Amino acid sequence: MSTEKIKNKKYLIITFGCQMNEHDSERIAGILENNGYNPVQDINEADLIIINTCCVRETAENKVYGLLGRLGKIKKNKPDLIIGVGGCMSQQEHVGKRLKQRFPYVDVVFGTFNLHTLGDLLTRARETKQQVIDVWQEAGMEECDFTVKRVPGVRAWVNIMLGCNNFCTYCIVPYVRGRERSRSQETIINEITKLGQEGYKDITLLGQNVNSFGKDIKGGIDFADLLTRVNSIDSVDRIRYMTSHPRDFNDKLIVTIAGLSKVCEHIHLPVQAGSNKILKKMNRGYSREDYFNLVARIRAAIPDVSLTTDVMVGFPGETDADFRDTFELMQEIKFDSAFTFVYNKREGTPAAKMEEQIPDEVKSKRIQEIIQLQNQISLGKNKLDVGKVLECLVEGPSKTNSELLSARTRTNKIVVFKGEKDVIGKILPLKITGYSLTHLEGEGNAL
Ligand code: SAM
Ligand code: SF4
Ligand code: F3S
């Protein structure tokens, strides 16, 4: 079908999962808008709905099946509605089969490696009126290098690498995202320069393990060198990155980050567990002692750094003593915040076949303990900011109170404050006057 005929058609993308997927949805939006579609917020108004899926835990998959059931009902009254399913979940072979059997009204199924072919797949589905399932098994770089329709604002994500080689034994990501592939530094630098000129001032470099950047390029630069180059781009003010793997965080990187003015004082450093036995079974490649040592070196070099983490409870074989090790590590390190996860069996990963799977009630008790501890710590950390004057980038109206503006500190904390809309996009000193678990409160005219 020509672009002409698609005019006035509206699309909606529903995204599950991590920043990587959020950013992929911006690519999908780019493809759809190039094909003549316009965005819409209301599901009932959409002519095309794309679900960008995640499979990191079973709950994410179940949400997609539930949503597909609801979309089936909408499609009964609106037979021309086109439904597409892409992302990590559809990259798995058994999911394609299940979608074919149980959801025949899904028009297009595509994977993470052939997101760029979506325009053609939609045309095929429309012309043949048949379900089109096309999931590539080979990864390339094509999924990266084409038009992106970014969410407007001051923050933007930029992929610096795709895939993961780490094979943590619980994790499905390497199976659905392929091996590590770094983008060329020129492509990255050009993209960031342009983003800065368009008004995106706070750039997050994305990868499952950004510290591995460049390892697959012969004679290439490493992540610390890339940060140095990005830091010299005049059009942007702030640089962030995620995720860093503790095993690959070397002293060169610490010294580089400490010395670069635009690289923000926030490091997301997933620890996953505090017990050496569990870390080994997870194949994380560092010990509890290595992690403490790394945190000490980071804190010595970057005194005001904010540290956040991912932590998991209930991994197979986790005894009460192993759990205590995790709990005590968190008590001691005092992360600014943490994403807490209950281990979930993922078909095809080594941990799914491990003995001593932990009963749900034990997992549930442990996660409650961890959440409670972390909430206390986060609150205490936020309280320490009261009275300080912090450099904040104003992002827009607050999501919870439209009378207020929302800004972000270099340490990645949200500050809400009263201000005029013309300061959006500017960096302001804000005096911190209050705090809660989720954000800080501030006032302008701090200097
Ligand atoms: N690449 C990042 C890293 O190495 O930490 C994180 C990627 S993963 C998408 C985000 C988080 O999901 C992980 O840090 C881990 O804590 C959690 N996760 C991954 N697999 C899981 C599983 N099977 N069950 C529970 N949580 C899981
Ligand atoms: Fe998954 Fe580990 Fe890779 Fe992170 S580093 S994506 S947790 S395999
Ligand atoms: Fe992200 Fe989920 Fe895929 S966490 S990489 S969208 S499996």
DSSP 189-255: HHHHHHHHHTT--EEEEE-TTGGGTTTTSTT---HHHHHHHHHT-TT--EEEEE---GGG--HHHHH
Ligand 1 pocket check for 247: Cβ under 6 Å: no
In angstroms, rounded to a whole number, what is the distance separating the alpha carbons of residues 176 and 178? 6
Minimum CA distance residue for ligand 3 atom 2 = 54
Ranges of CATH 3.30.750.210 domains, the chain: 152-264
β-strands 238-242, 389-397 pairing: unpaired
Does residue 285 have a pLDDT over 90? Answer: yes
- Give 341-390 pLDDT, tens digit per residue: 999 999 999 999 999 999 999 999 999 999 999 999 999 999 999 999 99
Q: Is the CB of 20 under 6 A from ligand 3?
A: yes
Residue from 26, 56, 62 whose mutation best tests the ligand 3 pocket (most atoms within 8 A of CB): 56
Distance 143 CA to ligand 3 centre (A): 15
pLDDT of residue 436: 95
Kindly report the protein residue whose alpha carbon is nearest to atom 2 of ligand 2: 168
The pLDDT of residue 445: 73
Q: What's the pLDDT score for residue 145?
A: 65
Does the C-beta of 90 come closer than 6 Å to ligand 3?
no
Length of the chain: 447
Give, in words, the CATH class of 4-134.
alpha beta
Q: What is the pLDDT of residues 113-127, one digit of tens each?
A: 999 999 999 999 989
Q: Could you confirm whether domain 389-443 is CATH 2.40.50.140?
A: yes
- The answer to whether the beta carbons of residues 123 and 36 sit under 8 Å apart is no
Taking 70 as the threshold, does the pLDDT of residue 97 lie above it? Answer: yes
Structure tokens at 68: 């597909």
Query: Residue 57 Cα, ligand 2 centroid: separation in angstroms?
Result: 13
Q: What is the mean pLDDT of residues 317-332?
A: 98
The pTM for the full model equals 0.94
Whether the Cβ atoms of residue 314 and residue 343 lie closer than 8 Å to each other: yes
pLDDT band at 447 (very low <50, low <70, confident <90, very high): very low
Q: How far apart are CA 340 and CA 98, in angstroms?
A: 30
Closest ligand 1 atom to Cα of 344: 24
Nearest protein Cα to ligand 2, atom 5: 166
Residues of the chain with CATH 3.40.50.2300: 4-134
Ligand 1 neighbourhood includes 346 CB (under 6 angstroms): yes
Measuring from atom 1 of ligand 3, which residue has the nearest CA?
A: 18
Distance CA 341, CA 174 (A): 19
pLDDT in tens, 43-53: 999 999 999 99
Q: Is the CB of 415 under 6 A from ligand 3?
A: no
Residue 116 Cβ inside 6 Å of ligand 1? The answer reads no
CB of 211 within 6 A of ligand 2: the answer is no
Topology annotation, domain 152-264: Transcription Regulator spoIIAA (3.30.750)
Q: Is 369 in the pocket of ligand 1 (CB under 6 A)?
A: no
CA 139 to chain centre: 20
Choose one of 206, 245, 278, 312 to mutate for the ligand 1 pocket test, by most ligand atoms within 8 angstroms of C-beta: 312
Residue 164 CB less than 6 A away from ligand 2? yes
> Residues 194-236: pLDDT tens digits?
999 999 999 999 999 999 999 998 877 999 999 999 999 999 9
- The two three-digit tokens of residue 282, written as one number: 């997870």
Q: How far is the CA of 18 from the centre of ligand 2 (A)?
A: 12
Residues carrying CATH 2.40.50.140, the chain: 389-443
- At residue 144, the pLDDT reads 63
pLDDT in tens, 56-68: 999 999 999 999 9
Question: Is residue 208 lining ligand 1, measured as CB closer than 6 Å?
Answer: yes
Maximum distance among all Cα pairs of the chain, rounded to whole angstroms: 65
pLDDT, one tens digit per residue, over 123-167 is 999 899 899 999 998 876 665 666 788 888 999 999 999 999 999
The response to whether 168 counts as a known ligand-binding position is yes
